[in-house]
Structure 1
């Protein structure tokens, strides 16, 4: 069942979720390694995004060894908590029951608030999925997290995880998806839509690849929008899907926010879809 979506919000698992979110990979450091060199700029960018209505923020314990979560915690101060939707993830080396509990509580501490959506970042090859999911249920019971999901999973893996639950269920999946990386259109996205879940699309802008695309630029000129705003608006047209572009600079955040509040025509949406199937 498609989730109800207008031009700025999806009526979803928490009441509403912004149709475009903000990703934080590379902010505050890299793979388990913190970087404090631009904390003020990163926090400023996140706060600007929230002001502009991008209230879903995606982070992970691995990003900067938790420092990205600390930056998110600073950025959200002063905003109404009930209007935000904070997503973070546990790395598969912490997929054991006790490790999941510790990781989630540490993430909550760094964020300074409860977690709206907690995801297993990647499948853990050495830990039974039900062990991790049982820990997820405990975290919901304890009020550490509100909802749980999976990242980088295929349909088979999602179904195995869902079979583990006694009281709750997976409500969201976060996978790589873009106009240049459309593998999930064959299975995961239809599965998510049929089951009323949320699909979070990471790397939707392919690290700036679309900014220089003349085809997208030509369509954007019809609407007074940039190529980036056009591609983000194309994602908004997909049921249950929320793109989460990186929010590292204020000017990029402002450009991303300009993709909300309007819609491509069906003709232009279809033309973009067809064009990039041939790329």
Structure 2
């Protein structure tokens, strides 16, 4: 899994913006980002169609030399579609909207009423049939992850995608250490604080964030992304609906914060010392 990718939440909600959104995704691929994250829930499937348009454009000359095998496409199934009667139908519908033959990673969007053992069994069938290459989960905290590990095949989970950014650090107390112990990378959605316990504006305007950005000749958004990417265990999937923002997000992967930078950010935005309820959108 690449360290940084592109989120797509809210894309496809306005027909007039779809061409620009697909262009931003294509620009992100041209700038080196190879992971695209989407979900069947987003815009009732229209987000997947925007992603499909971007993939078609990129793979047919928009990004010279790019092949489907170079990309890492992530999709998510709704919990009510994660049972034996529905998951294959949902997967095939997503593939059709995306215009691709397989998903690199298929996630359970959040925990629902379908037993985890049933969902895992269906995911494994999809892997055997070549429709998906890996499976994982999203918005699951430690108790649910431990339950997942106990079902047949549950240890095949590739990742847990959760809300995580400088202003929302609750997962650092229990979930992140648990994932590291199980050698499972964490995917951070909303790494630019589109949601969570601290506001996006509060982070972007914070004096410490802005001073570090100025020192590195970077933007506050790039500092926030570099902070999420400060180790080798976390993948960031920021959304960018413009070409400029997509290019800036891609460049953030090369930004290395110093120990002094990290200390200052820890002082400005301290991690909790006790377990917090899982932040999610």
Report what 1:37 is aligned to: 16
The 3-state SS of whatever aligns with 2:133 is strand
Report what 2:169 is aligned to: 182
Report what 1:238 is aligned to: 231
Q: How does 1:60-209 map to 2 (within 5 A)?
A: 60-77=39-56, 78=59, 79-113=66-100, 114-124=102-112, 126-166=113-153, 169-207=156-194, 208-209=200-201
Corresponding position: 1:271 with 2:264 = yes
8 A contact 2:25–2:54 mirrored in 1: yes
Report what 1:25 is aligned to: 9
Alpha-carbon offset, residue 165 of structure 1 = 3.0
Q: TM-score, normalised by structure 2?
A: 0.87
Alpha-carbon offset, residue 37 of structure 1 = 2.1
- Structure 1 residues 247 and 196, CA, compared in 2 at 3 Å: closer, same or farther? same
Report what 1:12 is aligned to: none
The CA distance in 2 between the partners of 1:28 and 1:236, in whole Å, is 28
The CA distance in 1 between the partners of 2:244 and 2:251, in whole Å, is 11
Report what 1:256 is aligned to: 249
The 3-state SS of whatever aligns with 2:136 is strand
Deviations 1:73-109, CA, capped at 9 Å, x for gaps: 1212213111111110001121211211111111111
Residue correspondences, number: 257
User: Structure 1 stretch 178-187 or stretch 203-212: which is displaced more?
Assistant: 203-212
Please, which runs of 5 or more residues in structure 1 have no aligned partner?
1-16, 30-34
8 A contact 1:129–1:161 mirrored in 2: yes
8 A contact 1:137–1:168 mirrored in 2: no
Q: TM-score, normalised by structure 1?
A: 0.87
8 A contact 1:150–1:170 mirrored in 2: yes
8 A contact 2:120–2:154 mirrored in 1: no
The CA distance in 2 between the partners of 1:278 and 1:100, in whole Å, is 37
Report what 2:62 is aligned to: none
Alpha-carbon offset, residue 269 of structure 1 = 1.7
Please, which runs of 5 or more residues in structure 2 have no aligned partner?
60-65, 195-199, 273-281
The CA distance in 2 between the partners of 1:87 and 1:254, in whole Å, is 20
8 A contact 2:137–2:157 mirrored in 1: yes
Q: Which of 215, 225, 233 is the aligned partner of 2:218?
A: 225
8 A contact 2:10–2:43 mirrored in 1: yes
- Structure 1 residues 167 and 96, CA, compared in 2 at 3 Å: closer, same or farther? closer
The CA distance in 2 between the partners of 1:83 and 1:270, in whole Å, is 36
The CA distance in 1 between the partners of 2:119 and 2:253, in whole Å, is 36
Report what 1:13 is aligned to: none
